[in-house]
Amino acid sequence: MDRSYVMKLSCRNRPGIVAGVSDFLFRHGYNILESRQFDDTSGGSFFMRVVFNAVEGADPGDLHDDFAEVARKFGMTWSLRPRDQNRRVMILVSRFDHCLVDLLYRRRIGELAMDITGVVANHPLDTYAHVDLQGIPFHYLPTTKEAKREQEGKILQLIGATDTELVVLARYMQILSEEMAAELATRCINIHHSFLPGFKGAKPYHQAHERGVKLIGATAHYVTAALDEGPIIEQDVERISHADSPEDLVRKGRDIERRVLARAVRYHLEDRVILNGAKTVVFAD
């Protein structure tokens, strides 16, 4: 009876939402462990994340159906799941493997609560011969401009066959088609090696060097059909100087990319991210 759950929700703001959620949990025998909320006064929306566990007399089997009545009353978009239920994640990668290696490490030490359903690459396995894939299925799916639709179809088949819930583009240097981006909406995270909205597209570090910027960054965002325009989940920056070459920026950027992507993935896995139109509300820890 000590199993804990996490609920996240959003709806139009109105009086009584917090009281309604709290009263429901109390009446059904649950104890609130954490509660965070945000009122977007500019857009009129309300967002909430609640972590709770069952106490004596609670019946978790009816929890989802019972709360549906409260959700209908307030017009909520919501989700509910046990905190110890790992999400099923597929990682897509190209030649640069630093983000892949970092995610595998964090998963191995228990920092990222996920079951990896596969690693998909558009480069052959020997490209990653030095990487410990920990027995995770590896799929080499090369792509060309002419065969892009076929290759994406195979990826989507793998996602469906493995019940994958989240796709992570860990420096996967292929632009997803509009059809695939739509299919993976809200369940695909990309790491872009610049501080968006600046320096979109290819070779952003070289673009940054040409502009003489003093800060470089990385951005993790949900994938949409518009290139590098999806709702931003996490960002970070690092100071550079006039003496840094484009290669120095690439080297320093790798560290930023790894930590930004790892945080974004963890926030998603822990139900800390709620979409707010073209933006996100992130209840970071």
Per-residue pLDDT of the chain (285 residues; tens, 9 = 90+): 468 999 999 999 999 999 999 999 999 989 999 999 999 999 999 999 999 998 876 666 788 899 999 999 999 999 999 999 999 999 999 999 999 999 999 999 999 999 999 999 999 999 999 999 989 999 999 998 889 999 999 999 999 999 999 999 999 999 999 999 999 999 999 999 888 777 777 788 888 888 888 888 999 999 998 877 899 999 999 998 999 898 998 898 999 999 999 999 999 999 999 999 999 999 998
Residue in 102, 228, 244, 271 annotated catalytic: 228
CB atoms within 10 A of CB 260: 24
Q: Where in the chain is the domain with CATH 3.30.70.260?
A: 4-82
Query: Is the CB of residue 36 less than 8 Å from the CB of residue 48?
Result: yes
Query: Is the CB of residue 128 less than 8 Å from the CB of residue 139?
Result: no
State which fold the 87-282 domain adopts. Answer: Rossmann fold (3.40.50)
Q: Where in the chain is the domain with CATH 3.40.50.170?
A: 87-282
Q: How many H-runs (helices) and E-runs (strands) does the chain carry?
A: 7, 13
Cα distance between residue 191 and residue 122, in whole Å: 17
Cα distance between residue 178 and residue 185, in whole Å: 10
Q: How much is the pTM?
A: 0.93
228 is catalytic: yes
CATH superfamily of 4-82: ACT domain (3.30.70.260)
